[in-house]
Amino acid sequence: MSDNQHQGMSVHALGTGGGPIVSGTRAGTSTAIRVDGATYVIDCGMGSIRNYRSSCAWGELRGIFLTHHHSDHVYDLGSFLVTGWQVPGESFSRRIPVHGPGRPPRIPAENEAHARQVDARTAGRTMAGTKDMVDALLDQVFASDIAIRMADEGRNDPHEWVSGHDIEIPSAAGADPVQARHPRMEPFEVYRDELVTVSAILVDHRLCFPAFAFRLDSAYGSVVVSGDTAPSENLVLLAQGADLLLHEVMDLDAILATLPEGPARAGIEVHLRESHTPYDRVGRLARDAGVGRLVLHHIVPNTPGAADTGRMAAVAAADFGGSVVVAEDNDCFTVGGPVPVAGRDLAGVVGA
């Protein structure tokens, strides 16, 4: 449970599994970063809300940040927003902003020829921004629940407690959903309060645009969460000198071994190969960024027993030049000094 006297900076693995797979051992990807009693959540994967309450309280929550809109990163967003809405003793203490991708001007594609194919296949479908998503959750998905609770329990409108915000990509980056989904760019600020500054950068998650990595800087140190990405020069730039890097990781052969042969498997293979970072590349990325410690999460494959996490860690550590930890749900990692927290505290292991 939460400690109101919490001081310092700690990182809590709320969910460490990657992909839209229901796993018996890992919740979907989500990370909480606590700074002096305030909590900032990055992504809201399936089942992560249960793990949030093992170390954090609703009254601590300051903001939610979405790296991208793939389902495995937003499954529990509605649960986070509605569960903390004026429940006696379990409520937000302030208005919660949700920052994430805006609506792209067109559906992403590899090039203009591919864009024509995509437009025909998607047949007039549109994408949504983060503000659209938050509004839809409050005004459509949970509309009946919210109306009844306002009428029956006297609660205020949840929009007084929750707001969605589309991250505006600097125009100087020249980003485009077809021509430049992850151009070389400088990190840019998306949020600031008296405790943290949150910066973002575009990363390479194939057709998922925009897809962000985030960095949180505090008086105690810095933490970077990669989001979903293939090996990315932008990620290396964002993570320069960070104390702790949480990076996604994949064993392509292992995940393909869990999938039956067929056309769907072929399409998934292309996506996986071009969208994620293999375990034999992640250590070099961390080394190039000069980070202090490396934690692997968003484990693919997420099927219990399918990933050899020991091999992942060993290969990454050899390239990184230091110890590497594969995160498990409810692990915690401290930045800038020991902090008493619940779960498997790995402050003395990571980067040893």
With 0-12 CB in 10 A as exposed, 13-18 as middle and 19+ as buried, what is 115? middle
- Quote the pTM value: 0.94
Q: What is the pLDDT of residues 294-334, one digit of tens each?
A: 999 999 999 888 999 999 999 999 999 988 999 999 999 99
**Residue entry with tokens 């529990």:** 76
Judged against a pLDDT cut of 80, whether residue 351 lies above it is answered with: no
With 0-12 CB in 10 A as exposed, 13-18 as middle and 19+ as buried, what is 194? exposed
pLDDT of residue 5: 60
Judged against a pLDDT cut of 60, whether residue 280 lies above it is answered with: yes
Q: What is the pLDDT of residues 123-166, one digit of tens each?
A: 989 999 999 999 999 999 999 999 999 999 999 999 999 999 99
CA distance 228 to 203: 8
Query: How many C-beta neighbours within 10 Å does residue 52 have?
Result: 27
pLDDT of residue 153: 96
Confidence of residue 271 (pLDDT cuts 50, 70, 90): confident
Helices (H), the chain: 48-52, 71-74, 77-83, 112-122, 130-136, 143-153, 233-238, 252-257, 263-275, 279-289, 309-320
Task: List the one residue out of 335, 314, 331, 332 whose CA is nearest residue 323.
Answer: 314
Q: Which residues contact 173 (CB under 8 A, 6 or more apart)?
A: 180, 183, 185, 186, 202
Confidence of residue 337 (pLDDT cuts 50, 70, 90): low
pLDDT of residue 352: 32
The structure tokens listed for 244 are 């702790």
pLDDT of residue 262: 79
pLDDT of residue 341: 39
pLDDT of residue 300: 96
CA distances 341 to 57, 103, 245, 332, Å, are: 13, 38, 20, 7
Q: Rounded mean pLDDT of the chain?
A: 93
**94 or 24, greater pLDDT:** 94
pLDDT of residue 1: 40
3-state secondary structure of 238: helix
Give me the percent of the chain exceeding a pLDDT of 90.
84
Q: What is the pLDDT of residues 171-182, one digit of tens each?
A: 999 999 999 999
pLDDT of residue 2: 43
Q: What is the mean pLDDT of residues 265-293?
A: 94
Query: Could you tell me what percentage of the chain is helix, strand and coil, using 3-state DSSP and rounding each to the nearest 5?
Result: 30, 25, 45
CA distance 213 to 173: 15
pLDDT of residue 349: 41
Query: How many C-beta neighbours within 10 Å does residue 147 have?
Result: 11
What is the distance of C-alpha 226 from the center of its chain?
7
